[in-house]
Structure 1
Amino acid sequence: MFYIILLLLAATLIFLLFLDFKLGRSRHHKQARTIPLEETTGSYHLYKNGSRLYEQLFRDISEAEKQVDVYFFLIENDYIADNFLQVLKNKAAEGVPVRLMGDRVASFKITKKRRSELEEAGVRFAFAEVPGFPYFFYRLQRRNHRKITVIDGNIGYVGGFNVGKAYIGESSKFGDWRDYHIRAFGPVVHQLHTIFLDDWYLATGEQDTPFPPSDTEHPYRMRIVATDGVELETEYKKMIDSAEQEILIGTPYFIPTPTLQDALKKALKRNVSLHIMIPMKADHAFVKEAAVPYLKELKQTGADIRFFDAGFYHSKVIMIDGQFADIGTANFDRRSFFLNKEVNTYVYDEAFIQDLRDVYFEDVADAVPFDDRWLKKRSLGTRINQKIAVLLRPFL
């Protein structure tokens, strides 16, 4: 009798969570936040090393004169994060307005004590996407995964790095950390600021206007795409369908939708070369196992697939035909497609893309092939986790 009651309680809980998720998603889709942004121009520098990124970012913040606005999905509690927060506090102490946001779940280490210290120094702090009722379970899954910094309306940062020592390779588990982040100038910075201020409004209720776009000529076409869990699948399908020669995908998590998996297979069948790179090490349970069935199907259709094994691969990049590149915060997974707020940067500079392509294939050369040999060597635990991962796809 006890076990029957236990099973009934478990079944009831599962049903309530399912109902919460379904109703929450329906409400989310009706209220999704869209920020339409037109193609613009700008200049940029790519960072793939966390130490160099932080050095430049901290210097830019230190030299700010008008305003510093920063959003990071995850801010750790270690010496890198402490240095970052101290730079913000120092700038605020000089009288320059500083606003900082972090995701409520991912940046939980920004404790009440740390928030008080920031406020005392003059830094305005807010959490984004605070879970609440109704639909608490669904809202717990809904995260703001963006990483945006805007300094004086002139310099913008966007990309995959968060704040912590792991991102400079000081993690005993992951070692070297491969990621991409862009430092941008020109009219494109106005668009990044528009997105930040919309997130700030949602978190605080305070409205503000972005700095006007730069009127200085910049040579490169760019487009910022801000998604809220309802547009990204369509954006990615357009990219894939446009390919005539080559698709390069780098992502820490590969869990495509049926629509995107079908688009990739069709690309292969029209003789488009498809390369996919994901990390050998996983930083979350089940994400690697969830990818295996999709990767296996694409491998059988002709794709070249590799595991990055020289640390952890956190880059989020798509390149099409050497003419288009997407670098941003979105992963190739269901969370980014349907739950998270993301921001991606589209770049159309062929010289820049060629350099990025060279870097990608340097990593490919050192990566482990996803092939029949690897599949045969899978442990029993990995095979079992693959079955479990099928049920967890909406949350991965």
Structure 2
Amino acid sequence: MIFALSLSGLVLLIMIWLAVDFSLGRKKHLSTAGRMETAMLHGQFEIFTHGKELFHDYFNEIRQANHHIHVLFYIVKDDTISQEFFSLLKAKAREGVEVRLLLDRIGSWKIKKQTVKELREAGIHFAYSNSVRFPFLFYSSQVRNHRKVSLIDGKIGYLGGFNIGKEYIDEDPILSPWRDYHLKMTGEGVNFLQSEFFIDWNEYGGENLQNHPVYFPNLPKGEVRHQFIPTEAGQLEDMFIRLLQKAVHTIFIGTPYFIPSNKVFAALMEARQRGVDITLVVPYNADHMLVQEASYHYLRTLLKEGVAVYQFKNGFYHAKTIMIDDKICDIGTANFDQRSLFLNKEINCFIYNSTFIERVRSVIKKDIRDSIPLTLAELNKPNFLRSVKEVLAGVIAYFL
């Protein structure tokens, strides 16, 4: 009896500590988070949807770098492609190219201390982003740097959903082929991505490089009008709501995890009620526990309202995109879930060029052809285990 009471007391204390830690940590984060949205920029864009093609291009550009390489990833693993990536960066550093590598501390937890030591010995400036920190251990463990940004010589930028690991190049038998959207860009927007990288690097790498003109060359304008919106600490929620409110005719959402906040979901329902056609593509198979079950409550409501929901079956769908009326296309690092909305550092690119948007539309059409419709009858079939998972997922949806 005494043991049971002691255990109950300990559990209660832990729960109180977690709640206080998270509340105070979030309050501090909100007080320090800046808000930024670029003016309209102009550049040239390419889109990659398969990892092998992306990394063939990406590694080739790294090999041709002359001055600097700046890289931020959420996940880099300890596998063959990761080692190839590290070897390439070490070779460039030994050539005299400045290399800065910033990785999320928890997302890239598989990297060994010996690997980090070897990177630094080769001359690479290495740092971890968003380490777990006092005094808010729980909150800081949940706030992740989910951005995937690379800059080469200040002239070429990459941004999107791919990380570095075997699953991203179709070498995971369960999740292959991996479907994702990743942008390669040139033009004046690259300067902004460089500046954003330096904001994170200054915080975690301890160098303030914002005022060094060598990293910010004069760049030509291109044909694709776009703007970047970096977000953290809940800023993404407002961004998504404003985007959905612009829709007059159509909304397309592609996401691996559909777990919106109440406000974002309300904006989506308001769009549907004013006659906007909505199409959603999500994976058929999940890569994490409970993420699908967390979406079912929302998907049932959407299906009742006539929203077209498709489940991608040709591998795993990890793309992150929103398209509004074929006039605005959002591609970036943010998922349509509460972790991206409230916890992660993200960066999204809004594209306003009709020619490039049509190219993305052709990609989306193929993804829909590789999907099957989800029906309300299927979701409403009695399934006790799924129901239990849905309840549990609903409780922890904020952290999925």
Query: Shared fold by TM > 0.5?
Result: yes
CA 357–259 in structure 1, closer or farther in 2 if over 3 Å, else same: same
Distance 2:238 2:21 in 1: 26
**Post-superposition offset of 1:3:** 2.3
What is the match of residue 102 of structure 2? 101
Q: Is residue 144–residue 340 contact of structure 1 (8 Å, CA) maintained in 2?
A: yes
Distance 2:106 2:69 in 1: 23
Q: Normalising to structure 1: TM-score of the pair? A: 0.97
Taking the TM superposition and a 5 Å limit, the aligned residue runs for 1:191-202 are 191-202=192-203
Q: Is residue 229–residue 336 contact of structure 1 (8 Å, CA) maintained in 2?
A: no
1:64 maps onto 2:68 in alignment: no
What is the match of residue 52 of structure 1? 53
Q: Is residue 97–residue 123 contact of structure 1 (8 Å, CA) maintained in 2?
A: yes
1:321 maps onto 2:325 in alignment: yes
What is the match of residue 85 of structure 1? 86
| Aligned partner of 2:291 among 287, 291, 303 | 287
**Post-superposition offset of 1:229:** 2.4
Distance 1:80 1:314 in 2: 19
**Post-superposition offset of 1:378:** 6.1
Cα deviation 1:42-75 (Å, max 9, x = unaligned): 1010000100110111110110011100111100
| Aligned partner of 1:255 among 259, 263, 266 | 259
Taking the TM superposition and a 5 Å limit, the aligned residue runs for 1:271-350 are 271-350=275-354
What is the match of residue 362 of structure 1? 366
**Post-superposition offset of 1:111:** 1.6
Moved more, 384-393 or 359-368: 359-368
Cα deviation 1:169-192 (Å, max 9, x = unaligned): 111221110001011001010011
Cα deviation 1:323-371 (Å, max 9, x = unaligned): 1100000001111111110011111111211221122122212312221
Q: Is residue 256–residue 333 contact of structure 1 (8 Å, CA) maintained in 2?
A: yes
Cα deviation 1:3-41 (Å, max 9, x = unaligned): 232222212211211111111111111111434422211
The aligned amino acid for 1:359 is: V
Cα deviation 1:257-284 (Å, max 9, x = unaligned): 1111111111111111101111121112
| Aligned partner of 2:245 among 232, 241, 247 | 241
The aligned amino acid for 1:77 is: D
The aligned amino acid for 2:206 is: G
SS at match of 2:78: coil
CA RMSD of aligned residues (A): 1.3
Distance 1:38 1:93 in 2: 38
What is the match of residue 9 of structure 2? 8
Distance 2:235 2:26 in 1: 14
Distance 1:258 1:29 in 2: 20
Q: Is residue 225–residue 352 contact of structure 2 (8 Å, CA) maintained in 1?
A: yes
Q: Is residue 50–residue 168 contact of structure 1 (8 Å, CA) maintained in 2?
A: yes
SS at match of 1:345: strand
What is the match of residue 112 of structure 1? 113
The aligned amino acid for 2:96 is: G
Distance 2:220 2:24 in 1: 47
Moved more, 326-335 or 365-374: 365-374
**Post-superposition offset of 1:295:** 1.0
SS at match of 2:77: coil
Distance 2:233 2:291 in 1: 19
Between the aligned residues of both structures, percent identity stands at: 39
Moved more, 151-160 or 5-14: 5-14
What is the match of residue 206 of structure 1? 207
Number of aligned residue pairs = 396
**Post-superposition offset of 1:298:** 1.2
Moved more, 205-214 or 299-308: 205-214
Q: Normalising to structure 2: TM-score of the pair? A: 0.96
What is the match of residue 27 of structure 2? 26
CA 93–369 in structure 1, closer or farther in 2 if over 3 Å, else same: same
Listed as ranges, the gaps of 5+ residues in structure 2 are none
Listed as ranges, the gaps of 5+ residues in structure 1 are none
**Post-superposition offset of 1:213:** 5.0
SS at match of 1:243: coil
Cα deviation 1:82-120 (Å, max 9, x = unaligned): 111111011111001101110000111222100011111
The aligned amino acid for 1:243 is: A
Q: Is residue 76–residue 103 contact of structure 2 (8 Å, CA) maintained in 1?
A: yes
SS at match of 1:8: helix
Moved more, 206-215 or 52-61: 206-215
Distance 1:198 1:42 in 2: 22
Distance 2:190 2:376 in 1: 46
Distance 1:253 1:111 in 2: 29
The aligned amino acid for 1:335 is: R
Distance 1:324 1:378 in 2: 40
**Post-superposition offset of 1:285:** 1.5
CA 186–142 in structure 1, closer or farther in 2 if over 3 Å, else same: same
Moved more, 94-103 or 282-291: 282-291
Distance 2:121 2:110 in 1: 18
**Post-superposition offset of 1:377:** 4.1
Taking the TM superposition and a 5 Å limit, the aligned residue runs for 1:91-170 are 91-170=92-171
Distance 1:59 1:377 in 2: 50
Moved more, 155-164 or 299-308: 299-308
| Aligned partner of 1:268 among 261, 266, 272 | 272
Distance 1:376 1:266 in 2: 24
The aligned amino acid for 2:284 is: M
Distance 1:115 1:29 in 2: 32
Moved more, 81-90 or 27-36: 27-36
What is the match of residue 42 of structure 2? 41
Distance 2:370 2:67 in 1: 45
